Amino acid sequence: MKYSGKWTAGLSKEEKKLFEELLGVNNKVLDRLAEICYNMSRESEKTSNDYTSPNWALRQADLIGFRRALDHIAVLCTPAKERDPVQ
């Protein structure tokens, strides 16, 4: 399985090869992490939208950034063949 090159960026050729083998052998932890990130992202959508709060826009921006970060982590944990080709 081929994962994002971000996993091996900055590693020597030897370290890169070993790390790629490690990622390919057992990815149960990565699968679980991707699932946790997905669930956290979906759970954050259920937060209350209190439009009367003066800082509503700031809270929304923070929530959107939080979801974006979780989505990036989930993509890192997903092999290339299972990802959307656009990502």
Identify which has the larger pLDDT, 27 or 32.
32
What's the number of CA atoms in the CB half-sphere (13 Å) around residue 11? 13
Mind listing the pLDDT tens digit for each residue in 57-81? 898 899 999 999 999 999 999 887 7
> Which 3 state secondary structure label does DSSP give 46?
coil
Among 48, 39, 36, 45, residue whose Cα is nearest residue 77: 36
Largest separation between any pair of C-alpha atoms in the chain: 57
Domain ranges in the chain are 27-82
Amino acid at 27: N
> Region 17-38: what's the mean pLDDT?
90
